[in-house]
Structure 1
Amino acid sequence: MTHNQDDLLIFADEDPAGPDERELATETWKLLIVDDEQEVHQLTKLVLSDFVFDDKPLEFLSAYTEAEAKRIIEANPDTAIILLDVVMDQDDSGLRIAKFIRDELKFRQVRIILRTGQPGQAPERLVITDYDINDYKEKTELTTQKLFTTIMAALRSYRDIMVIENNKIGLEKIIKSSAALFELQSLKKFASGVLTQLTSILNLHKNALHCNSFAVAKGQEEIYVLAATGDFASDVEKRIDEIVPAAVLKLIEQSFQEKRSYFFEDHFVSYFQSKTGMENVIYFDGSKKLSELDRYLIEIYCSNVSVAFENIYLNEEVENTQKEIIFTLGEIAETRSKETGYHVKRVAEYSKLLALRYGLPEEEAELIRLASSMHDVGKVAIPDAILNKPGKLTPEEFEVIKSHTSIGFSMLNHSNRSIINAAAIIANQHHEKYNGQGYPNRLAGENIHIYGRITAIADVFDALGSDRVYKKAWPLDDILDLFRRERGEHFDPKLVDIFFDCLPDLLKIRDKYSDTKLF
């Protein structure tokens, strides 16, 4: 089909930039142009030829027909953006392609920008609503600068979505592994999951293939590799000297000999020894300068791995391992959002105390103590720019923050173990309000699980009394006034009464676990 000249992209009063003459990086953002006009492809590539985002250039893919577009997108599931024309082989070719991408291929991450020279064929409100289109532009709108801005905004969105997906995948591996740690064969799966999540926590996704890390154990007679990533991921069954480079092996052996850890600018060796004398080393090389916060996260992970390994070696009860893992993951979630050091510990102890005073048995109160540490685990999947924003969040940013409840639930709800089940409930419901005005499901009254109602009070009490990136700690009198006002509104009225009855004990917990270090 041929369009008239008015349908072509217009670059009004602007000089397109020349082609980028530097070598392309090995990693790119894939941009698929779908249009039956050759000139549209040429002009788009010309204008965006020197476009770079996060040190990665664009890789252009071109399709001129509906069938060709479907073949290309199916073969390239990592496509970031599709610039999609409406009218091609058929009057609704673009809409058919969009439906194919979303409904048949189930590709939700790719950003689809509809470009049309005939807006009457695809009214904007209709296609945005019915076809899961991310942006809509008439071709006459897309000057050089506006095209640049549109692509930049779409890539930022795609990048943040992929960060969430990568963090979610890594954390789900940890959770699934923790539920099966009593099986000896899960040891290597667990170690691999820990290394994968460490890569995510340190924001090394785009260089993941180059992150060479090892989880190493020392047996009675030899050192052996439990898990590896990067270039050596598929070789873990070999002898250690066949897998680990000589210089790295020397550093690992030195760590075992001197029983100490080493941190360098862009890699580390962390040594840890269990109470029973079992020794392990984590070596990680991510080619990224490690900050103080990175080092703290690394130490948490190494401690977590140490506990898990020790329990498996000794064939102890799986619940002991799960407790350590869950609490550590709760700490990691809070550390990513730069919360104060003992927030997770305080919330856990407050929750157990409230549960006991509510009348729950000791065993169930202990279950809540452990599971409540995971209340904000979904924050691991929230982009740092939003999670740690010092100023007021926009409505869109607040919606992203709110999603941590549903994300946490989706990470935890596939286990039949009591601790994980309780953690899933708490992650999903700790922001529900007694009056039905909370999120994510606007539950009200006793439709909110008692675990969620208890953790809500513990979390708010501690959050208000702690410094955060966006606020200073409230005075105690102001906190207590808020709880009085929110009795029966935000909080279960019976639990608020219990809260005030046991306030002296809550304050003892707060003082016992006061923060000594801020991030």
Structure 2
Amino acid sequence: MNATIHSAEDDLVFLDEPEGIPPLEAAESNSTWRIMIIDDDPDVHSATTFALGSLEIQHRPLSFIHAYSATEAREILERESDIAIILLDVVMEQEDAGLQLVSYIRKTLGLTDVRIILRTGQPGYAPEIDAIRDYDINDYKTKSELTRTKLYTAVTSAIRSYEQICAISSSRRGLEMIIHASTELMALQGLQNFAEGVLIQITSLLGLNTSGFVCAKTNLQGRHYENDKLHVIAATEDYHDALNKPITDLLQINAKEIVQRSLELHQSVFEADITALYFNNVTQKDFALFLNTGLRLNDMDKRLLSVFCSNVSVGLDNVMLTSRLHNYAFYDLLTGLANRLKLLQTLNETLLSPIKSRSALSLIDIDHFAETNDALGHQFGDLLLNAVAQRLRENFGNQCQLSRVGSDTFAMLGDKSLVCPETILALFNSPFNVDQQEVQLSATIGLIKLDEYDGDGSEALKDTNIALKRAKTHQRGGYEYFTRSMGVEIRERVLLMHALRAAFEHEKLFLVYQPQVDMRSGKVLGAEALLRWKTDDGRYIPPDQFIPIAEYSGLIVDIGEWVMESACYELIHLRSLGYTDFQMAINVSQAQFSHPLFMQTLSKVLKSTNVPANFVELEITESMAMKDPDLLIKTLHQIKQLGVSISIDDFGTGFSSLSHLQKLDIDKLKIDRAFVNDIQHNGSEGSIAKMIVQLGQNLGLSIIAEGVENEMQANALLSFDCHLAQGYFYAKPMTSEDLHAWLKKQSS
């Protein structure tokens, strides 16, 4: 076939070629490769269209767009897209119009994928080497050399190049979208937010306006899913009714089936009309996404989707880890309830919100839980706590913030119509079913109303605990509301405790000694060491105020050791002054006496001071003697083996069991000052003191009376046959220096 088309500027010649050139590939698609012809000669357009009209490349035919000037080409290119090849003439309106259009296409329009084949009939206006070097063109042909075969070859090569560049560009854009999507997902906190983000990003990535849902098997962030079923945790509007429900509740059977198949196979499943994407994760939590549309993906799409799913899996691992850390930080792992930190967070929010005026906080303490735990084991105790938590959740879980804030203490924050003692205590009327056993429990409650509360969450929780402790002190199974007077009392005790600790550390505590005498002869037999505290401003804090605080705080153990050591050193000093028969009485508190290291401490003090043990007397209270008689008998025996004597202080105030008393290896009874004060001038009172003297004599014990203030009391005691006494009638408590002077005066 011969064809010659003449123009005023150049020639486009198709030489003789074999007939019947077949298309490269059979067409399988209705889409076309778009070819743009830019030339000011209409015959060139016709000849090119005629030459290429039957050509098919990669199963796709060609379609043509025509522009007859550079200006017209610019207008078309601004609105058209997906042009594969531009066949461009150099000389049109101007001698370099084609070259200027190349710059406009590449730089201004930013069309980098389209392939440009420069065609010229006048090479002098665009020398090949200069054009290739200076302009972003992909091929250079003179019209005189273009046969049909060479045009086929040039166009086919250009289209294949364009297809590869488009694939690369598409891959790059896809990767950029994946990176952007992954970045957006990594910023999301919480599994549900992450799942919603995955739905948004996948539809954006695929360019689809579709609906679907994300399902997972999880109980993160305190949410309890029955039997750990697969639940919908995020959904588009079409599936909103399924949110937070088991996937088995879905009416769409094919959706359930494809998701289950994806999870069983651990891979994504693609069907004609629906898709299930599987996301692997290190925690092996089932996590899948359902789309109600089929995805027709080429190999590149599948690879990009695989990269996206891998990135989602990494993000899922991070979210799972963050969620577990969040769980550990804000939820109790045993019961699934919020913990103390979460309660404080919610409490602070409540105190700053309008609902403060109608809110209340309660602490619920299970009575005698420690004994149950010790008797039946920790595993049973855990089941018991879970049973209590479950009952609280069933009755208040949707209306109140429930927390476990201690080993056996629960908190409830909510409307005060619900957070009231009668409602809460009623939960404990019926037994709890624990490990196929019915267990009856009771609880003690402390409460606070927040409507007029001025403190923050931590202070409110602390004050509620004060009310709980007051309730436990007064009556187990009852309740107390916090009052301002409770707070003042507790705060004063705390301040006093800190001041006592500081005073002890800075050696502000000191001992005084009250002599003990034989009333018959006036001879000084010894003294009782008494602890005193004088503050920096000169005030004396009474022992009955600071000794209980020292016992409560545990500071009494250190203070008691210091008292014992100081009193023994004073005894050594008195012996060096010639008072070799002097006996030192030292008070021992219950907390000090019951401490596991008490005997070790006593032995160490006796050894370090080198004091004769038989001149040391320990005074214990009657209530201590009755607290744990078996332990007391054992400890007293050990003390006696060291040579130290024992006196029971405040005898008659603790309602002793005489059967226990006669078993104790003790040396002396001290009549409490309250019974000494009962002795009147006429001697009609004082019968209790007289009875104690007779009891002591029957048991073979020495008897000493404390608080003897006058001669009448001394004479009455002597008439009862009590010979030993201490009190202001004989001497007040004195410092070491004053005691030495007083003893010296007594001796002279």
RCO higher in 1 or 2 (8 Å CA, sep ≥ 6)? Answer: 1
Identify, as 1 or 2, the structure richer in helix. 1
TM-score (normalised: structure 1): 0.47
Identify, as 1 or 2, the structure richer in strand. 2
TM-score (normalised: structure 2): 0.34
Larger Rg: 2
